[in-house]
Amino acid sequence: MHIMPNGLEHARVGLIVGKKLARSAVERNYMKRILRELYRHEQGALGGVDILIRPQKAFTRAHFAQMETEFRQLMHKLRERFSAPHNSEQA
């Protein structure tokens, strides 16, 4: 996950799920849908940052609970780190 201030009042997200990670388009699109939905629930508390999310491991429906927990932990860390002035963060 890469983070950078965007100078706006709201957060924006970019998602990258490559073919090396998930071979079929169905798998890649599922991962992007889940990540986008998890981000949607957290975006109000983030403020003016751009977030680029690039998963390192593929996940399926069976791993949703674990993925959700990890994502929420990362967002919590992001809010803590970005409350102090930084130019760029990498979590």
pLDDT at position 13 is 92
Span 69-78, average pLDDT? 90
Q: How far apart are CA 76 and CA 65, in angstroms?
A: 17
Domains of the chain with bracketed CATH: 2-84 (3.30.230.10)
Type of residue found at 39? Y
d(CA 14, CA 51) in angstroms, rounded, equals 6
Query: Of 61, 40, 46, whose CA–CA distance to 91 is shortest?
Result: 46
What's the length of the chain?
A: 91
Q: Report the largest interatomic distance among the alpha carbons of the chain, rounded to a whole angstrom.
A: 40
**Of 8, 70, 75, 4, whose CA–CA distance to 43 is shortest?**
75
Residue (of 55, 51, 54, 53) closest to 88 by Cα position: 51
pTM beyond 0.85, yes or no: no
pLDDT digits (tens, 9 = 90+) for 6-53: 888 888 999 999 999 999 999 999 999 999 999 998 888 888 889 999
